[in-house]
Each structure stands twice: as structure tokens, then as C-alpha cells.
Amino acid sequence: MDNQIEFVTDLGLARLWTWWVRMWFEIAAYGSEHITVVDILKRVKSANGLVVGIMLKPFSFEGRRRQDEVKDLLEQLQEHTNFCIVVDTNVLLEKDLVTLDEALKTANSAVLMAINAISILISESQKKHLVSPQNVMKELKASEAMKILESYKEAKIGFGAGYNIKTSIMRAVYDCPFLSVGLKDLDGIVICIVASSAVMDCNNENDFLHTFRQTTECRGGIIMSTVHESNVETNLIMTTVITVG
């Protein structure tokens, strides 16, 4: 069973499993389903699998009980995952940016972008590079990327799109409310996935890296991968940024 994606919408639970690397993504479910989730995570992690959790924080109107349930589940996920991506959906409504329906769609997009980004990182066929603070670029194997990710516990995600590199980066880092952290003094590493319908060469990658550091003032290490997506609108650049640490 290869690369299967299953969405269980009534539980708010999405699972992606990739059997050849024994990897599970889990998004917090409503109710007692999380007991089964934690048991699965224990088994996968004990088998030396990479386990990435994706937690959707509840909206404030869901009440204190729900808030406490998710807080408890997040603690359990962090204990039994290599690291956990936290999506704070409530910030969308706090800033009166969107309707509830739009907020749910944006949160769902964040989950899909996170799954896609991690899938790219552990793919043997997709090229990725580790860029040092001194901008020394080294090609990274999937196994090496997994080892780097395993050394961190919590992550946040931002994503955006634009018709030039700078706009795409700014929308992912500054306009997307889920990231909510500056990159200048980040004590960790930044994962950056760039997708476009055009094939990007080394010069394009270097241009992006230069613009990324200049725009975000990021001084730390970066794991970077450029992806050719034929279904992306012509000239549109999509950037996904995940901060871990």
C-alpha cells in the first residue's frame, strides 16, 4: 500500500502513511480517538520510524474543555513524535481576517502543505540541500534530512505565493499568521520548499536563497528544496516555510 492519504473529516483527523519509511502524520482528532493515535505512534516510533505530528489548535469558542483536551493531546504527541507541527487556527479569527469557513479552509491548506513538505524531505527522488549559516550548500540525502528533523520537537508552518521571489517569501513568512515567529534569531533550522511550474536551476536556487536571507534576516541553517509542479499557475512561485526548534 503506497503513499495512501486518508481524510476522516468527521474527526478532523488526516493520516498519511508511507510504508517504506514507516512514517505517520497525525492531526488531532476529536474525542477518544486520540488514544488509538498515540498507541499507533508508539509502535511506529519504536520501530525507528520518523513520526511527525500535525496539531490543529481549537478555536476559542470551542470551550475550555476542548482547549484542555488538545493541550493534553499535544503533550502526548510531543512525547511520541520526532517533532510536531502546530497550527494555531484561532489567530485567523482573532485578527478578524476571515470567516469561520475560510479559516477552516486555510487550516486545511496548512495541513496539506505540511504533509507535502515533509514528504518531499523524505523522498529519495527529490533533491534537497542543507545550507549552512555561511551559505555553504550541501546536497542532503533523505536519511540525513530525517536525522536532522529527529533532533527537534516543535515546528510551525507558513506558506504563501507570489509572482516574484520576494513577494512569495514575504507572504509565507510575514502574511501567514500560523508562523508567528521571526527568523532572525531562530534557534533551530528553517525548512523551505519552493514550487513553480518552471524548472529551477542552480542560479534560480542561489537567487532565492539570497532573497530569502535578505528578506527574513535568517542567519541559521536552511534545508531547501525546489519542486517542479506542472499544475501551478505560470510564473507563480509557491513557498512553504517550516521552522523547527
CA distance 134 to 178: 28
pLDDT confidence of residue 159: 95
| CATH T-level topology, domain 4-121 | Rossmann fold (3.40.50)
User: Would you kindly state where each structural domain of the chain is located, as residue ranges?
Assistant: 4-121, 129-244
Residue-wise pLDDT for 104-158, tens only, equals: 888 889 988 998 998 898 888 899 999 999 989 999 998 898 888 877 778 899 9
Is the CA virtual torsion 34, 244, 191, 168 positive or negative? positive
Query: For cell 509542479, what's the residue?
Result: 229
How much is the average pLDDT of 83-109?
83
Q: Following CA atoms 26, 27, 28, 31 in sequence, which dihedral angle do they give, to the nearest 10 degrees?
A: -80
Tell me how crowded residue 180 is: count the other CB atoms within 10 A of its CB.
12
The cell 520548499 sits on which residue?
A: 193
- Closest to 191 in 3D by CA, of 134, 242, 140: 242
In this prediction, residue 97 carries a pLDDT of 67
**Cβ–Cβ under 8 Å, residues 29 and 13:** yes
Better pLDDT: 106 or 24: 106
Q: Are strands 137-139 and 221-228 parallel, antiparallel or unpaired?
A: unpaired
Question: What does CATH list as the number for 129-244?
Answer: 3.30.1330.20
Lowest average pLDDT, out of 1-5, 189-193, 224-228, goes to 1-5
Q: What is the pTM of this model?
A: 0.81
Instruction: Give the strand pairing for 83-88 and 154-162.
Output: parallel
Task: Report the alpha-carbon distance of residue 70 to residue 81 in Å, rounded.
Answer: 15
CA distance 79 to 73: 10
User: Residue 213 — very low, low, confident or very high, per pLDDT cuts 50/70/90?
Assistant: very high
